[in-house]
Amino acid sequence: MQRLKVLVTRRWPAEVEARLADAFDVTLNETDTPLTGAELAAAMGEYDVLCPTVSDRIDAAVINGGGRVRLIANYGVGFDHIDLAAAKARGIAVTNTPGVLTDATADIALTLILMAARRAGEGERELRAGKWSGWRPTHLIGSALKGKVLGCVGFGRIGIATARRAHHGFGMKIAYYGRRPCEDAVVQELQAEFCPDLNDLLDKADFVSLHVPGGGETANLIDAAAIARMKPGSYLINTARGGVVDHDALAAALKSGHLAGAGLDVYPAEPAVPPALLGIENVVLLPHLGSANAETRIAMGMCALANVEAFARGADLPNRVA
């Protein structure tokens, strides 16, 4: 196996960093400070392999900044922060880490559904502020989940895993929107209704949960018109990517009461959070925690490592996206 020169742009779990350091000539980011665009561009000329995360913008300017990197081994399943066309044009392979973060991210989607439906964030803020006056029949009344329709926008690994939890665990009915129907076994298992038109899904869903990749066709998919189309009193959940949603329209719909609530894990220009949301009580705001459990973060690192090792051996890349 070639002893490649590898740059890891952020801190990874210690077990994975140790494995990388055994096998390769690795530069780790001990301070965990995000690299600037100029630093990333310079790295493209100094290393054989770049291992970025969602917090690194690997655009055409970065990719064209140097001529040495031959593999971008992303730590994460989403790759909308990488310009695949620019990478392809320069003959750079790109890999991701699919599958290993499906359960963790579906767990966070359910966390957001439950927190939004049961007003958990509002309740905790009230209690910590010393404003809780005690139990009463009309206090912080939320919504039940049983019998309600969960509408998944995108029905791949995480969409299906979220639907499984909602259906088998909480008695929700499942509908989904996608470019094609999913496999029969999943439809049977979840009694899932396919909506080939997004508006049909928005008309019937009590909870709309987003599971499409970011970028391209999905940019602003949930725009002002889509939010207006959602059922009065429904909820929007986003663990996909911030750019899928028009946050000004979302804030207006939460304030007017058209939507009962929302739960967000992702934002268009992280770590910035759209300011209009910060003062709104009926939105749950998490800091991109989808894959954040110890087991998953190690598995993501090991998956990225497997791609680097395959590249070093000249073997087929297990998770090639470009």
Q: Could you give the residue numbers annotated as active site?
A: 241, 270, 288
Q: Could you tell me how many residues of this chain bind ligand NAP (CB under 6 A)?
A: 29
Among 9, 95, 97, 105, binds ligand NAP (CB under 6 A): 105
Query: Which residue type occupies 168?
Result: H
Check residue 288 for interaction with ligand NAP (CB under 6 A).
yes
Nearer to ligand NAP, 121 or 159 (CB): 159
Nearer to ligand NAP, 130 or 271 (CB): 271
Query: Which residue type occupies 277?
Result: L
Residue 153 and residue 209 in contact, taking contact as beta carbons nearer than 8 Å: yes
Please spell the DSSP secondary structure of 123-159, one letter per residue. Answer: HHHHHHTT------TTTT-----TTPEEEEES-SHHH
Among 37, 123, 142, 156, binds ligand NAP (CB under 6 A): 156
Part in contact with ligand NAP (CB under 6 A); list of ranges 39-47, 200-208, 235-243, 294-302:
235-243
Joined together, the tokens standing for residue 79 give 């790759």
β-pair partners for 173: 149
Residue 254 and residue 116 in contact, taking contact as beta carbons nearer than 8 Å: no
Nearer to ligand NAP, 153 or 312 (CB): 153
Among 20, 72, 112, 158, binds ligand NAP (CB under 6 A): 158
Check residue 106 for interaction with ligand NAP (CB under 6 A).
no
Q: Which of residues 188-217 bind ligand NAP (CB under 6 A)?
A: 211-214, 217
Among 155, 207, 267, 311, binds ligand NAP (CB under 6 A): 155
Residue 181, C-beta contacts closer than 8 angstroms, at least 6 positions apart: 187, 194
Adjacency order of strands within the sheet including 71-73: 25-27, 5-8, 49-51, 71-73, 93-95
Cβ atoms < 10 Å from Cβ of 69: 26
Check residue 274 for interaction with ligand NAP (CB under 6 A).
no
Minimum Å distance from CB 41 to ligand NAP? 24
Q: Within 13 Å, how many C-alpha atoms sit on residue 268's CB side? A: 14
Task: Using the structure block, give the residue that is written with the tokens 């009590």.
Answer: 206
Nearer to ligand NAP, 44 or 54 (CB): 54
Q: What are phi and psi of 317, to 5 degrees?
A: -80, 130
Part in contact with ligand NAP (CB under 6 A); list of ranges 26-34, 38-46, 98-106, 135-143:
98-106
Q: Which of residues 170-189 bind ligand NAP (CB under 6 A)?
A: 178-180
Question: For binding to ligand NAP (CB under 6 A), which residues are involved?
Answer: 77-78, 98, 101-102, 105, 154-159, 178-180, 211-214, 217-218, 239-241, 265-266, 288, 290-291
